[in-house]
Structure 1
Amino acid sequence: MTRRLCSLPRQPVPPFGPGLTAERLGALLSGRRMWVNGTVLHYCFLDAASDASVIPVPGTGELRRVPWAGGEGAREVVRACFREWQDLGIGVTFAEVGDRHEAELRIGFQPGAGSWSAVGRDALSAGRGERTMNLGWDVSAPAERGIVLHQIGHALGMVHEHQSPFAGLHWDDEAVYAELGGPPNYWSRETTDTNVLRQLDACEAGCSVWDPQSVMTLPFGPGLVLEPEQYRGGLRPSGTPSPADKEFVLRWYPPAGPSPVGAGLGRGQAQAALVPFRSAPLGLGPGEQADFTVEPPETREYTVGTFGDADTVLVVFEERDGEPRFLAGHDDGGTPHNAAVRVRLIKGRRYAVRVRLYSTWGSGETAVMCW
C-alpha cells in the first residue's frame, strides 16, 4: 500500500552571483539553510478562526474554508517529536509559544494540503500569518510519527536523503509518476520531481555516504527503484532519526561545552565580550561559529558587522526571560559585501552576537566588531 509522503514545495534557486569558486559555492549550498547554533526555535500551533485556506470544491465552482487547527492529540505528538530531536543533545532548542509573532516555526494541520515544512532558515521568509509547516492528515496514529520527525528534520535544515547523489538510485520514472499521481498522494509530475526524482547537488546532501535508514528517507513500495537491485523491493526506513542523522545534526548544532574564547563558544558558557569599537578576530574554519556577548554601555543605535574576505551569517539575539530572542541577522554569502546589521541596543540588557563562517578567500583573516 502506498504511504502518504512529504510534499515539499519547490525550493527557490539560490541567488548566488556568477564567478564563485567550486569550493565557495559548495560551502554556501551546504550551509545556507542551517540556523546558527544556540538558536531557540519557538514554535506555535495556528488555531485562530482566521487561520484557514479557501479552496475550490471540485465540480461545483464553490469555495470553502478549511481551517488549519489541529486536535490536542496531534499537537501532543508534535511536542513529543520536538522532544525526541532535542534529546539527541543538539545545541538548538525548541520552545512552544502562543504568539505567532514570537514563533519562527508556525504549524498548521490543514487536511488534504499534504505534509511539508520550510527547510531551515527558509522559514524566516514566510509571512508571520503563514505556516512554515503543515501536517495534512491525522498524525496521532503511531505509524504517522515518522512524518512528524521528518518535518522537524526539514525545519532543522535537513533535506531528502533519498535524493542524495550518493544513493545511486535509478528510478523507473514513469512508474513513480503513476504511483504518486494516484491515491493517497495525488501528486503532479512537478511535485514528484521536486520530492523524489530530482537529484540533489552533492554539496546539498547531508553526508557523502547515503543513509537508507535516515528519517529523511521516504518509504517507497516495490517496483519503483530499478537499481541497485537490493532496493527493487522498496525503501523501508525506520522512521526515527538514525545514527547518521544524529551525527549530522550534532556536527551543525553541537551541544554546549567548553570552547576557546571567540571560537565556537557553546550556549551557557562564559562567552567573549564584544566591546564597542574593538574588533575581535574570528579565526574560524568552514562551518565553525563564534559567539560573543554584548552589554551596551549606553542606549543607542549600533552597527554590528564582520570584516574580511569571507562568507558569513551574523545574528544578533536579545536575552529575554533567560533565552535568546532573534533581533536581527544578515547573510552575506556569495556577495562581495560583509554581513552587518543596524540595531537598537539598550543599556542594562544583554545581547548575543553569533557568527557562522561558510568559507574564506583572499587573506582569510576575519573579524567582528560592534560600533
Structure 2
Amino acid sequence: MKTCEHSAPSICNLPLVEPRKLDPNIDRNRESLVRYIEKKWVNHTVSHYYFMQDQPQLTGQTNQLQAVRDAFDEWKNLGIGLDFIEVGDAAQAEFRIGFAPGSSWSYVGRDCIDLVPNHEDQTMNFGWDLTTPYGRDTALHEIGHAMGFPHEHQNHKAGIVWDEDAVYANFAGSPNYWDDATTYHNIIRKLSPQDATGSPWDRDSIMHYQFDAGLILSPAEYQQQPLIPSPGLSEMDIQEALKFYPDNSAAQWPELVPFLSHKLDITPGQQLDFTIEPNISRTYNIQTFGTMDTVIVLFEDDDAEPIYLAGDDDSGTNYNSKISQRLINGRRYYLRLRLYSAGASGEGGVMLW
C-alpha cells in the first residue's frame, strides 16, 4: 500500500489461502485466464458489509467506521456496477469487518463467501488509524481485495527481481515481524505465472505496497530509492474496476426463454446478463453448453435489490455450469454469466429448460 509518511509502515497481511486445485493437465493459457478472474464477483452483485461492534476485541471508533464507509463510497462513485450496503446483521453480510490492532487484511473477492461461510467470522480487519493519508489508502486497499483484486507488486508482468535475502530480513523486523512463509505469500510469490493475461505493471496502484530502497534488484532504479506509489486510486485501478464491473444496469438484457439456447458471444473476462420471467411455477434447469469455462449466478428481483439464489462455477473442470432452482410465476430473476475461457472451439451457449 502507499504512504509518504514513513519508510517502514505496517502493511497488509493477506490470509494464507491454498490455490483452488485445477486439472493438472489443464492448458496453461486456460489456467492463466481462470486464475486471473476466479475471485471476481459477477457484475451487478450487491455486497453487504457489517461492522463487528458486538465483539469487544473487534470494535472500532466512530471515525474509523466512517473512514471505511467513505472508502466504499469512493470505489462505488467510480461508476462501477457493484453496490455496497451496510447492514446491521452479520448473517446478511459478505464482508464482516473488525478493528483488531496490529494487522490489516482481507480475504480476496469470492473467498469471503467460499472460505468464510460462518457469519461469526471476520473477512476483513483494520489494525491502525484510517483517518491519516496512509490509513485512507489502507481502507481502499482492503476493499480492493474484497472486490477481487490481488497485490499489484505480485503481478507476473511487473518484472520485479527481488533481493530475497534483504526482503525476508526487512519484513522479519519492526513493525511487521513476519516469518518467511508470510513474506513469501505477500511479496515474493508471483501470481498467474503464465504470461497470457493481466494488465501491465502499475506501480501506482492502490493494491501495491511501498518498498524501501535496496529490496529490489530490478528495475535498478529501486536499488537506490524507495518505491512509493502515488496516493489514492490510480488511473489503471479505475480502468480495471470499470472493466470487470461496468455500470451497464440500464442496458436491455435479453430474456432466457425455456428450451431456446442463447449463444455466448463474449471474450474472456466479459459478462452477459439475462432476465428470466417464468409463466409456470416449477423447478427449472439453467446450464451452459460447450467447452467454455464460466461462472453463473442466479438472483431474484425483490424491487429493492437482487437477492442471491444459487450459483455454479465450472472453471478448470470438464463439466458445465448448472443450476436447478424452483422459480415462481410472476416473479423476475436475473442470470449473471461471466466467461473465463472460450475453450478450443471458441463457442458455447446457455439454456433454460
TM-score computed with the length of structure 2 as normaliser: 0.92
1:341 partnered with 2:330: no
Q: Partner amino acid for 2:265?
A: G
- Aligned partner of 2:215 among 224, 229, 241: 224
The CA deviation at 1:81 is 0.6
Q: Which residue of structure 2 lines up, in the alignment, with residue 365 of structure 1? A: 347
* C-alpha distance in structure 2 between counterparts of 1:335 and 1:171, whole Å: 35
Deviation (angstroms), 1:352: 0.3
Partners of 1:301 and 1:247 in 2: how far apart?
40
By how many angstroms is 1:336 displaced?
1.0
Mapped pair 1:67 → 2:73: no
Residues 225 and 234 of structure 1 are in contact (CA less than 8 Å); yes or no, is this contact kept in structure 2?
Answer: no
* 2:3 aligned partner: none
Write the letter of the residue equivalent to 2:242.
L
How far 1:332 sits from its partner (Å)?
A: 0.3
Aligned-residue sequence identity (percent) comes to 45
Q: 2:104 aligns with which of 115, 122, 126?
A: 115
Give, as a single letter, the amino acid of the residue that structure 1 aligns with 2:309.
L
Which runs of 5 or more residues in structure 2 are unaligned?
Answer: 1-6
Runs of 4+, deviation exceeding 6 Å: none
Q: For structure 1, which segment, 272-281 or 149-158, has the greater mean C-alpha deviation from structure 2 after superposition? A: 272-281
The 3-state SS of whatever aligns with 1:250 is: helix
1:105–1:133 contact (8 Å) kept in structure 2:
yes
Q: 1:314 aligned to 2:304?
A: no
Question: Against the structure 1 CA distance between its residues 166 and 367, is the aligned structure 2 distance closer, same or farther, given a 3 Å change threshold?
Answer: closer
Q: How does 1:229-308 map to 2 (within 5 A)?
A: 229-232=220-223, 233-256=225-248, 267-308=249-290
Higher relative contact order (CA 8 A, sep 6+): 2
**Where in structure 1 are there 5+ consecutive unaligned residues?**
52-65, 257-266
Distance 1:328 1:173 in 2: 44
**Counterpart residue number, 2:22:** 16
Change (3 A) 1:327 1:143: same
Rounded to whole Å, the distance in 2 between the matches of 1:358 and 1:198 is 23
Q: What SS does the corresponding residue of 2:243 show, helix, strand or coil?
A: helix
Partner of 2:75: 85
TM-score if structure 1 supplies the norm length?
Answer: 0.87
CA shift, 1:201, in A, is 2.5
- Aligned-partner Cα distance in 1 for 2:215–2:346: 47
> CA offset at residue 34 of structure 1?
1.1
- 2:165 aligned residue (162, 174, 189): 174
- Report the 3-state secondary structure (helix = DSSP H, G, I; strand = E; otherwise coil) of the residue aligned with 2:183: helix
In 2: Cα distance, 1:203 partner to 1:132 partner: 29
| 1-structure distance, mates of 2:195, 2:334 | 29
* Cα deviation, residue 8, structure 1: 0.5
Secondary structure at the aligned position of 2:110 is classed as: helix
C-alpha separation in 2, matches of 1:299 and 1:337: 28
Give the alignment's Cα RMSD to 1 decimal: 1.9
| 1:272 alignment partner, SS class | coil
Mean Cα deviation higher: 213-222 or 343-352 = 343-352
**Contact 1:167/1:209 (<8 A) preserved:** yes
Question: Against the structure 1 CA distance between its residues 204 and 75, is the aligned structure 2 distance closer, same or farther, given a 3 Å change threshold?
Answer: farther
Q: How many Å separate the matches in 2 of 1:268 and 1:292?
A: 13
Q: CA separation in 1, counterparts of 2:327 and 2:342? A: 29
CA contact (8 A) 2:36 2:192 kept: no
